[in-house]
């Protein structure tokens, strides 16, 4: 089984002594390539910390983590930047779009970092997420769902093998959230891309291939869905 992510005894601690916060405690995780994976847990359970480890945004305190065969545990700052640039895309709950740039300029900003024809790639990606007629709109002229689609296009324009999403539907209404989840699942099905998404909503776990549950920094359960539900059928 080829793994997109493998963590062994992964530990992340902030601070020292009595004030230390143990965000991850010796987590062992295996995520196969080509799955839509949900990290489930309450606030403070370690979900976002784990996502940050996969994205090489932070170094572990101890243990190891690798993504698509690359050991991330001991990378220096330049190597971490190179990994994030070439191998992973990010989608955030609050979009993080530049308000003074149009939709296509927001996507092009990332596309330019990876070479090639940034403009045509950005246009193609916005068409794929259903925003071909909104390319020249600024974020303030777009709905929340449309802004999240721009965020997804920005995350995918590098064609990363690994896409990380932190509560991507948390600020959206039910109908729009279902559309976004369908779009994300479609980018995984039948391909080699892996998506790891954070949520506290147990209903979203029904559409996942694999669910990893965290509590107080520990992995307390892993389960798989042999027949994941369609996002439009979720009962939010």
Average pLDDT of the residues in 95-124: 93
| pLDDT tens per residue across span 1-27 | 789 999 999 999 999 888 889 999 999
Going by C-beta distance under 8 Å and a sequence separation of 6 or more, which residues neighbour residue 97?
A: 106, 139, 147, 150, 151, 154
Residue 119 CB burial class (10 angstroms; 0-12, 13-18, ≥19): middle
Please, are residues 169 and 125 in contact by the beta-carbon 8 Å criterion?
A: no
What would the pLDDT profile of 150-204 be if each residue is shown by its tens digit?
Answer: 999 999 999 899 999 998 888 888 888 888 899 898 888 767 899 999 998 899 9
**Total domains in the fold of the chain:** 1
HSE (side-chain half, CA atoms, 13 Å) at 133: 0
d(CA 97, CA 66): 29
**Looking at residue 138, which CATH number applies to its domain?**
3.40.50.300
CA proximity to 187, closest of 149, 232, 141, 134: 149
- Average pLDDT, rounded, for the chain: 92
Q: 99 pLDDT exceeds 90?
A: yes
Its domain, for residue 53, covers 3-233
Q: Three-class SS of residue 197?
A: strand
């Amino acid at each position: 089984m080829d793994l997109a992510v493998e963590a062994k005894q992964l530990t992340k601690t902030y601070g020292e002594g009595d004030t230390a916060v143990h965000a991850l405690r010796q987590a062992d995780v295996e995520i196969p390539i080509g799955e839509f994976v949900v990290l489930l847990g309450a606030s403070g359970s370690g979900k976002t910390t784990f996502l940050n480890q996969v994205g090489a945004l932070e170094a572990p305190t101890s243990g190891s983590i690798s993504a698509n065969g690359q050991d991330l545990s001991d990378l220096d700052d330049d190597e971490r930047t190179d990994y994030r640039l070439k191998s992973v895309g990010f989608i955030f709950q609050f979009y993080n779009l530049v308000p003074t740039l149009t939709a296509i300029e927001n996507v092009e900003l990332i596309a330019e970092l990876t070479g090639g024809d940034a403009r045509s790639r950005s246009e193609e990606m916005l068409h794929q997420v259903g925003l071909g007629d909104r390319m020249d709109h600024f974020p303030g002229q777009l709905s929340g769902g449309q802004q999240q689609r721009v965020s997804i296009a920005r995350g995918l324009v590098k064609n990363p093998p690994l896409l990380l999403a932190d509560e991507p539907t948390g600020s959206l209404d039910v109908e729009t959230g279902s559309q976004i989840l369908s779009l994300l699942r479609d980018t995984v099905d039948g391909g080699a891309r892996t998506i790891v998404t954070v949520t506290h909503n147990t209903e979203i776990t029904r559409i996942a291939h694999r669910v990893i549950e965290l509590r107080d920094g520990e992995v307390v359960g892993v389960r798989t869905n042999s027949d994941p539900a369609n996002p439009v059928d979720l009962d939010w």
